[in-house]
Amino acid sequence: MQIAALVFDAITPLDIVGPIEVLARMPGAEIVIVGKARGPVRDPRTHWTLTSEASLAEVTKPDVLVVPGGAGVRPLCSDEPVLEWVRAVHRTTTWTTSVCTGSLLLGAAGLLRGLTATTHWASKDVLAQYGARYVEERVVPQGKIITSAGVSSGIDMALTLVAKMAGDDIAKGIQLSIEYDPQPPFDCGAPSKAEPAVLDRVRQSMQRASAPAR
């Protein structure tokens, strides 16, 4: 069972490391890190350099596709070879998934038209431009497509996916193995829960940093 994790420059590392940490623990899973070309991709914000081990042309029939987000998604949304690859692999995937603004790439590829979907809350208007209906939900399955909310949601998405693919007991075991018993210090992790002043400040700083596809 091949699970393809797409990487690119200015990726948000947690978007992809969260789900892959979970999915790699599923029996029979084989992870492949795929980029436009083999070699390093960089996130200047966190100083991560990740290395893709395969080019798009080398990964043609993954069973699962995971598309993460980050500032680097925006240029990909008008990059026709990337869009064509997403459309092509989606034809034969069992599951096509996204984390955060990764859903914008699925949208740009035309996969979300008429569907309910989610993305990072700060990019919900961009998602709507691709014909999807945004919902502030953590994990949104629609047929074989699963979109999930901002950054950290990929962990919840991947555990949900493992439960569908391998059963609840395997998913529970993986949740225990990554000791995922979250205890965030505040209850402000979604826009509907955050204080208005905090929400305004974060929205403004994200708009300054690069907006819509952050």
Q: How far is the CB of 76 from its own copies (least distance, A)?
A: 20
Taking only Cα atoms into account, the Rg of the chain, rounded to an integer number of angstroms, comes to 16
Q: Cβ closer to its own copies: 19 or 83?
A: 19
* Contact window for its own copies (CB under 8 A) among 57-65, 80-88, 108-116, 187-195: 187-195
Residue 24 is classified by DSSP as: T
11: contact with its own copies by CB under 8 A: no
Q: Do 1 and 21 form a contact (C-beta atoms < 8 A)?
A: no
Helices 153-166 and 13-23, interaxial angle, to 10°?
A: 20
193: contact with its own copies by CB under 8 A: yes
Distance CA 38, CA 56 (A): 9
Total chain residues near its own copies (CB under 8 A) = 66
Q: Where are the alpha helices (DSSP H) in the chain?
A: 13-23, 73-76, 80-92, 102-108, 124-129, 153-166, 168-177, 196-209
Name, in order, each residue with C-beta under 8 angstroms of 186's C-beta and a sequence gap of 6 or more. Answer: none
Contact string 128-167 vs its own copies (x = CB under 8 A): ----------xx---------xxxxx-xx--xx--x----
Distance CA 207, CA 98 (A): 22
Q: How far is the CB of 143 from its own copies (least distance, A)?
A: 19
49: contact with its own copies by CB under 8 A: yes
Q: How far is the CB of 110 from its own copies (least distance, A)?
A: 25
> How open is the CA angle 94-68-45, to the nearest 5 degrees?
165
202: contact with its own copies by CB under 8 A: yes
Q: How far is the CB of 80 from its own copies (least distance, A)?
A: 27
What are the residues binding its own copies (CB under 8 A)? 12-14, 17-18, 20-21, 24, 31-33, 40, 45-51, 53, 100, 120-121, 138-139, 149-153, 155-156, 159-160, 163, 168-169, 171-173, 175-186, 188-191, 193-195, 197-199, 201-202, 205-206
